Amino acid sequence: MAGVSHIVVDWGTSSFRLWALDRAGTVLGERRSAQGLAASGAEGFEAVLDSHLAALAIPEGVPVMMCGMVGSRAGWVEAAYVTTPAGLEGLTAKAAHVPSARRLIRILPGLAQRGAEGADVMRGEETQLLPLIRDGFEGLACLPGTHSKWVRVEAGAVAGFATFMTGELFHLLRSASILAPAVEGAGAVDPGSEAFAQGVTDGLAAPELLGNQLFRLRAAWLLQGEGPEAALARLSGLLLGAELAGAARFGGRGPVALIASGPAASLYQVALALAGIASVTTHDAEACVRAGLHAAAVSAFRLERMSA
C-alpha cells in the first residue's frame, strides 16, 4: 500500500481495530475483527497482526503503535502503568518495545493513580484523551464503557481519574440477578423514554438509595406488572444517575468533554443534561483513539529516530 507512514492498532479484550495512516493521520486502509486477547493469545499475537498487515499489503519496516489490553499482563508484551500526572510525552517515552525482526512495534502503557485519591487504573482510554490534550483541552472528560472513566485534565496531562463500573453492573443486573425476569425481552434502552429520565433523576437525587431503588424494579414487576422496556430503561437510568452523582463529587459540575459513540453517547448526553451540566462537547470515541494513536506514533517514532 503506497503512502503509508505508520500503522496504529487498538487491541482490546474482545476486538481488534487497525488503521494504516499517512503522515497527516489520514486513513488509507483499515481492518477489524473479533480477535481480542483470548483469540489472539491462542493464535499468536504476531501471527494475527501479520495477517492483517498482509491483507493490506503493508511492507516490512512500517512501524506500528498499539494500545489497549494487548499491553496488559495477559497481552503480547506488558506495558507497565505510568503514574499520574502524565501527558503525551510521558506515555510515549514509556511505550513498551515488542521484539520483531520485520518492523518497529510499540505498545502504549496504561495509567495508574496512586496516593491520597485512591488506587485506580486505566488501559486504552488514556489514548482517547491524547488528541484533546494535544489541542489544549483542560477540564473534566467522561469516557463511558464497561468501566466508565471520569478524568481531570490539567496543564497538558491527566491529573487524576475515577472509574465507575456502570456498564458491568448493568450487564450483571439485567442478566444474572433477581431483576433478570423483570427485564427479559427488553430491547435497547431509549434515551428519550420517561422511565430512563426518572431513573437518572432518582439516581442523582439519592445515590445512597441505589440498592433500594434497584429492588423496587422487581417489586414493580411483581405488583404492578411493569413491562420489561420500562424496567430496563429505569435500571439504566438509576445506574447512570448514581454514576453522575459520584462524578460530581470527583470533579464538580463544570463543562464536560464526552468521549463516546453509539447508543452510549445518546444516553450520557441525556443524563448529563438532566444533571444540569449545560456545557457538554461530544467527541467520537473511535476517532479519538485513532487520533491519539497517531499523535503517539508521531511522537514516539520521532524519538526513536532522534535516539538512533
pLDDT digits (tens, 9 = 90+) for 91-101: 999 999 999 98
What are the residues facing 8 on neighbouring strands? 19, 65
Window from 28-32, 276-280, 291-295, 300-304 with minimum mean pLDDT: 300-304
- Local confidence band at 304 (pLDDT 50, 70, 90 cut-offs): low
Q: Which residues of 239-270 are buried (b: 16+ CB within 10 A; e: fewer)?
A: bbbbbbbbbbeebeeeebbbbbeeebbbbbbb
Q: What is the mean pLDDT of residues 67-79?
A: 96
pLDDT of 306 over the 50 cut: yes
Q: Cα(first)–Cα(last) distance of the chain, in Å?
A: 26
Higher pLDDT, 185 or 306: 185
Q: What is the pTM of this model?
A: 0.92
Nearest residue to 144 (alpha-carbon basis) of 24, 236, 17: 236
Q: What is the mean pLDDT of residues 19-34?
A: 96
* Long-range interactions of 274-283: CB distance < 8 A, separation 24+: 274/197, 274/200, 274/201, 274/204, 274/241, 275/200, 275/204, 275/241, 275/244, 275/248, 277/253, 279/254, 279/255, 280/255, 280/256, 281/255, 281/256, 281/257, 282/258, 283/132, 283/257, 283/258, 283/259
Q: What percentage of residues in the chain have a pLDDT greater than 70?
A: 98
Q: What is the pLDDT of residue 101?
A: 84
Q: What is the pLDDT of residue 1?
A: 80
Q: What is the pLDDT of residue 307?
A: 54
Q: What is the pLDDT of residue 305?
A: 60
Q: What is the pLDDT of residue 252?
A: 75
CA atoms of 48 and 16, how far apart (whole Å): 10
Please enumerate in sequence order all residues whose Cβ is within 8 A of that of 289, keeping only pairs 6 or more positions apart, or say none.
10, 17, 67, 124, 127, 128
Q: What is the pLDDT of residue 35?
A: 97
Mean pLDDT of all residues in the chain? Answer: 94
CA atoms of 231 and 37, how far apart (whole Å): 34
- Local confidence band at 223 (pLDDT 50, 70, 90 cut-offs): very high
- Local confidence band at 89 (pLDDT 50, 70, 90 cut-offs): confident
| pLDDT tens digits along 144-189 | 999 999 999 999 999 999 999 999 999 999 999 999 999 999 999 9
Q: What is the mean pLDDT of residues 41-51?
A: 94
pLDDT of 54 over the 50 cut: yes
- What's the one-letter identity of residue 189? V
Q: What is the mean pLDDT of residues 249-254?
A: 80
pLDDT of 308 over the 60 cut: no
pLDDT of 44 over the 60 cut: yes
CA atoms of 100 and 87, how far apart (whole Å): 27
- Structural Rg of the chain based on CA atoms: 21
pLDDT of 108 over the 80 cut: yes
